[in-house]
Structure formats: structure tokens, C-alpha cells
Amino acid sequence: MWKDVTTVADMPWNPDADMAEVLITEEQLAARVAELGAQITADYAGERLLLLGVLKGAVLFLVDLARQIKLSLEIDFMAISSYGSSTKSSGIVRILKDLESSVEGQHILVVEDIVDSGLTLDYLLRSLAARGPASIKVCGLLVKERTRALSVPIAYTGFTVPDKFVVGYGLDYAERYRNLPYIGVLRPEVYRDTGRDAS
């Protein structure tokens, strides 16, 4: 029986057509994640490590990274809402989901999808520092070029990317594209069509 195509869910999925370019391929991501895992394994040998994933964007990166770290570790998550438009952070941050246990005396490695303005991270680091961990470091899969000019401490960086809006491998635009296996730059028409702000 014929069915009317009326919703996004009914339409064929063709995300490649929405991309201006693929910035980082699936193979490049896997290779860099393996390198980061090896480096973290060496740096935290003998320590009690907590991988702290920031929901939702860091999830895909975290599950791949965790499997490349050959240490006994724990995993926990925080969810943070950063007010602003869908493509720009405002710096006003709220904790939506907190950690399940105390981090006192633990070595925390914050796993982030992307550091852009650094405002979200700055807030998170201050909140964590107040809880008495042994140490706090940040592992960001992506860091935007302009962020390097800011004084956000990032111990491990996957890739430095241009100041464009990117999606895939956990990163979303309006909650979509997280499941792409690569990192791509969205064509401006895609967010223009939906009437949202772009950076």
C-alpha cells in the first residue's frame, strides 16, 4: 500500500547531502582516538581514573576512547544545559544531571566533544574543583581554532578545527546528525532552512 511521505522520519536518510565537506573521516577519528587512549594509559598508570563524559555530545567519543585506555577506570556522566541559540553558547549553564558518586580523591578526566567558547567547560571545571578531586584534566575531541586564544586548559586534544559549525560522531545540530561516523561541516542552507542562527 502507498504511504504519503509527510514527516522527516518517513524520508530517506541522506546526511551526506547536507554536508559542505567532511572534515575528519571515520578512519582518522579511529586512529586519533587510539593515540589518545595510549597516551592516557601511559599518563595515568597506577592511578584511579574517572572518565567523566559530558552528555550528550561526548558519548560516541567516550565509548571509543574508553576501549583504548588499558587501565582500570570508572565512567560517569554529567548533563549540562548551556543557554543560547542552537549554534552558540551563552555561558549561562545549568547542571541537568549530576555525578552519581563523590569524586573526592579521584583523578577526573573530563571527556568533551568540542570546546568552542570554553564557557561550558569553565563552569564545569569550577564546579568539579570544589568537590576535592585529586586532579582534573580535559580531553576534548575537537577544539576550535579560536579557543586556543583563550586560557582554557585542555590536556588532550583530538583535532583542532576551523571556527565552523560541525556535526557528527556525537555532535548535533538540533539533536540530529549525532550518529554520523565522521565529522562534517553542515551546508549553511540546512540551518537557514530551519530558521535558526548559525556561526
Catalytic residues: 116
Q: Using the rule CB under 6 A, which residue among 103, 110, 114, 125 binds ligand IMP?
A: 114
C-alpha cell of residue 119:
564557557
127 scored as a contact of ligand IMP (CB under 6 A): no
- Put the strands of the sheet holding 19-24 in their side by side order: 19-24, 183-186, 166-167
Name the minimum Å distance from CB 23 to ligand IMP: 10
Residue 39: which H helix or E strand, with range? helix 26-43
Sheet holding 107-115, edge to edge: 93-97, 73-82, 49-55, 107-115, 135-144, 156-161
Q: Minimum Å distance from CB 53 to ligand IMP?
A: 11
Alpha carbon distance 106, 180 (integer Å): 33
Q: State the nearest-atom distance from the C-beta of 33 to ligand IMP, in Å.
A: 17
Name the residue nearer to ligand IMP (CB basis): 71 or 99.
99
Does the protein bind ligand IMP through residue 119 (CB under 6 A)? yes
Site residues (CB under 6 A) for ligand IMP?
57, 82, 89, 112-121, 165-167, 171
